[in-house]
Amino acid sequence: MASLSTSSLSFKAPSVQSTRTSQVLRKPLSFQPISFGRFQSSKNLRLQISCAAKPETVQKVSDIVREQLALSADTALTAESKFSALGADSLDTVEIVMALEEKFNISVEEADAQNITTIQEAADLIEDLAQKKPAA
């Protein structure tokens, strides 16, 4: 069941009795149809949990961004730092993606590359591509 108020959105998972945690985690959670004011959803809502990239990956991406944009050591970079806010134009972003491909030995599709706007997005994409990459 899901409910929405003007200040919060909350989900309540179906009750699970005497089911081992590992069995629960293997199956996506399903919720019953939900209502948002006058809007009634007739579809089941699915919740997918994904983890953010490892801190080491975020740090490596930050280092590459710092180098590619020639940022000083005192420039604060966080996972939420937007390339555009750091002064990157479209060519800089392409160069960042190329450096990431070389550093992590991955290939980023053009459509994915165009969706990278922050250090966190880049790190998440790298880890996603690394997981999908066949073992050498």
Active site residue 89: yes
Q: Which long-range contacts (CB under 8 A, 24 or more apart) does 1-7 make?
A: 1/31, 1/32, 1/34, 2/31, 2/34, 2/45, 3/34, 4/34, 4/36, 4/37
115-130 burial by CB neighbour count: b if 16+ within 10 A, else e?
Answer: ebebbbbbbbbbbebe
Catalytic pick from 63, 74, 89, 128?
Answer: 89
User: Mind telling me the catalytic residues?
Assistant: 89
